[in-house]
Amino acid sequence: MPTTDTAASSGSGFASASVPRHLARGGVGFGALIAAFALIPVFGPATLLLAPVGLVALRGCPMCWAIGLAETVSRGRLHRECTNGRCELKPASR
């Protein structure tokens, strides 16, 4: 009997509630990281305090944000179906 993994549709992992919200988090995160290093010549090492803000907005790392973007975009469109120890991604039935 096939089983369906519904964790992706329940909001697990790194996904956000919506794509615009996820993109806003990315803008804040990447903006803070870039500003932390780009503004050192102007404002000194105090700008490095922006780096933790950027990492919190990205939930730890830029790759985590990218994975979350993929999860957010695909939420509800794909599901994992496992049969006889073999799992596959399939389009969600509507």
- Give the pLDDT confidence of 14-55 residue by residue, as tens digits: 788 888 999 999 999 999 999 999 999 999 999 999 999 999
Structure tokens at 64: 């985590």
Q: Which residues face 3 on adjacent strands?
A: 82
Model's pTM, two decimal places? 0.68
68-83 confidence digits (pLDDT tens): 898 888 887 777 788 8
Backbone angles phi, psi at 85, to 5 degrees: 75, 5
Burial state string for 39-65 with b = 16 or more CB within 10 A and e = fewer than 16: eeeeeeeebeebeebbbebbeeeeeeb
- Residue-level length of the chain: 94
